[in-house]
Amino acid sequence: NKAISADARTMRSARDARTMRSARDAKRKGSPLRSLSDFTSLEEKPQFPGASAEFVDSLEFIQPNVISGIPIYRVMDRQGQILNPSEDPNIPKEQVLKFYHTMTLLNTMDRILYESQRQGRISFYMTNYGEEGTHVGSAAAMNHTDIVFGQYREAGVLMYRDYPLKLFMSQCYGNANDTGKGRQMPVHYGSKEQNFVTISSPLATQIPQAVGAAYALKRENADRAVICYFGEGAASEGDAHAAFNFSATLECPIIFFCRNNGYAISTPTSEQYRGDGIAARGPGYGIISIRVDGNDVFAVYNATKEARRRAVAENQPFLIEAMTYRIGHHSTSDDSSAYRSVDEVNYWDKQDHPISRLRHYMLHRGWWDEEQEKIWRKKSRKMVMEAFEEAERASKPSLEHMFTDVYSEMPPQLRKQQESLMKHLKVYGEHYPLDSFEK
């Protein structure tokens, strides 16, 4: 009872604080400087700059879990049935088919490139298994002109924006068609045309950069927003916290999209944080937040759509925590059987998968059947295999690209290195596979 009344008190004082804060905000906007009348009242009230609450006269610490966990918003149950018709986004059939085609094509591309790394054809790969719903639901809710900052496990966002298979494959092979000219690790995609900023390996660096970009968009009054993806592990980096605070104080049109997939390599969420996940941090920064079922593509879509609408209309940040599960290993350098059970992985793969949930929905609607599934599986595999074979056949980028694009004018020390490489190859070139590089 004591706990309940403490909770009620906390909630009541939070409500009062909100009312007071809006009154103060209004006052502040009218006159930024506080005048003498603010300080002459006989009433005892807190005058601390930055305080928005009342004094209390009994000792009480704030409990970190005043409510029993932020709820998880969903639209469909695991069988693909709409739970509450008023939440049905009523997406037209053609677009739902695009959702499904993208989610399954991503899955097929993952299988082929994962195998390709296992056979020693590419150096590295990261799959997106189980997280397809978070990618497609959020990508579909944004405009193409909105800027995407990704972490590395968001290939579905780029695919939904119609980034061609040929360029995915060329990037992973680092061939001459790769827009990065073979200078990045596989899966570090980037595309100007798709407004998708190139992936960086160091965790969380994209988060403050994304806030900067959102601030620039706000200053341009461009009717554009930024969406910034990151994992629950990356959310522990200092950069994440700095970014959240800047976005709130600078009032930036950004959506922070956290994919909470249960693990950061081998670190489970139980060792990653103590509070109620990532969504619970939002209010601490003054950011409007929500937690969604990331395996429900419609829930992700609804939350992102509304967050995007308000972020642009009101110039303020939003935080979405999408609960999902990383079914694959962290990367090809990881073996997850060392730290989690097969039963756990199987549960998500067989019983709570975003692709099967959407397929159930499409079957109920009469928009899909076994025959169409068979035809599409065959066709999509063929598309992936063709792009894969073409990428493997293509030449590597010209060697000179090792030295270009960092400086607009090549500095002397770099020129010296280039000359010495060319001299070396003149003498010993026969020992290198020079024929596989573009001239």
Ligand X SMILES: Cc1ncc(C[n+]2csc(CCOP(=O)(O)OP(=O)(O)O)c2C)c(N)n1
**Which are the catalytic amino acids?**
115, 201, 330-331
**Considering the complex, what minimum distance in angstroms separates the CB of residue 16 from Mg ion?**
37
Residues 251-290 that bind Mg ion (CB under 5 A): 261, 264
Task: Write down the least CB distance from residue 265 to Mg ion, Å.
Answer: 8
Part in contact with Mg ion (CB under 5 A); list of ranges 34-42, 111-119, 232-240, 308-316: 232-240
Task: Determine, following the binding rule CB under 6 A, whether residue 188 of this chain makes contact with ligand X.
Answer: no
Contact 157, 238 (CB under 8 A): no
Question: Can residue 30 be called a binding residue for ligand X (CB under 6 A)?
Answer: no
Of 72-80, 111-119, 262-270, 373-381, the window that binds ligand X (rule: CB under 6 A) is 262-270
**Which of 170, 247, 261, 380 is close enough to bind ligand X by CB under 6 A?**
261
Q: Nearer to ligand X by C-beta: 318 or 325? A: 325
Q: Contact letters (x/-) for ligand X, 134-163, by CB under 6 A?
A: -------------------x----------
Nearer to Mg ion, 195 or 267 (CB): 267
| 10/269 with CB nearer ligand X | 269
* Residue 229 C-beta: closest distance to ligand X, Å: 9
User: What is the Cα Rg of the chain in Å?
Assistant: 25
CB within 8 Å of 257: residues ≥ 6 apart: 134, 138, 227, 228, 229, 230, 304, 320, 322
The correct pick among 137, 186, 231, 282 for binding ligand X (CB under 6 A) is: 231
Q: Which of 178, 232, 293, 296 binds ligand X (CB under 6 A)?
A: 232
Residue 293: name its binding partner from Mg ion, ligand X, none (Cβ under 5 to 8 Å by kind).
Answer: none
Q: Does 106 bind ligand X (CB under 6 A)?
A: no
Residues 6+ apart with CB under 8 A from 345: 327, 336
Question: Distance between CA atoms of 156 and 132, rounded to whole angstroms?
Answer: 6
Residue 38: how many other CB atoms lie within 10 Å:
11
To 10 degrees, what angle do helices 93-118 and 132-141 make? 140
Window of 108-116, 195-203, 357-365, 384-392 that interacts with ligand X by CB under 6 A: 195-203
Choose, by CB under 6 A, the member of 188, 330, 357, 359 that binds ligand X.
330
Nearer to Mg ion, 233 or 253 (CB): 233
Number of residues that bind ligand X (CB under 6 A): 15
Contacted by 153, from ligand X, Mg ion, none: CB < 5 to 8 Å by type: ligand X
Query: Which of 180, 182, 231, 294 is in the footprint of Mg ion by CB under 5 A?
Result: 231
**Footprint of ligand X on residues 294-313 (CB under 6 A)?**
none
User: How do 263-264 and 267-268 pair as beta strands?
Assistant: antiparallel
> Which of 117-125, 260-268, 409-417, 428-436 is the region at the interface with ligand X (rule: CB under 6 A)?
260-268
Question: At closest approach, how far in Å is the CB of 235 from ligand X?
Answer: 7
Closer by beta carbon to ligand X, 256 or else 263 = 263
Give me the residue whose beta carbon is nearest to Mg ion: 231
Quick one: CA torsion of 61, 290, 308, 257, rounded to 10 degrees? 90
Is 202 a binding residue for ligand X by CB under 6 A? The answer is yes
Q: Does 263 bind ligand X (CB under 6 A)?
A: yes
Which residue's beta carbon is nearest to the bound ligand X? 231
- Positions touching ligand X (CB under 6 A) are 153, 201-203, 231-234, 259, 261, 263-265, 326, 330
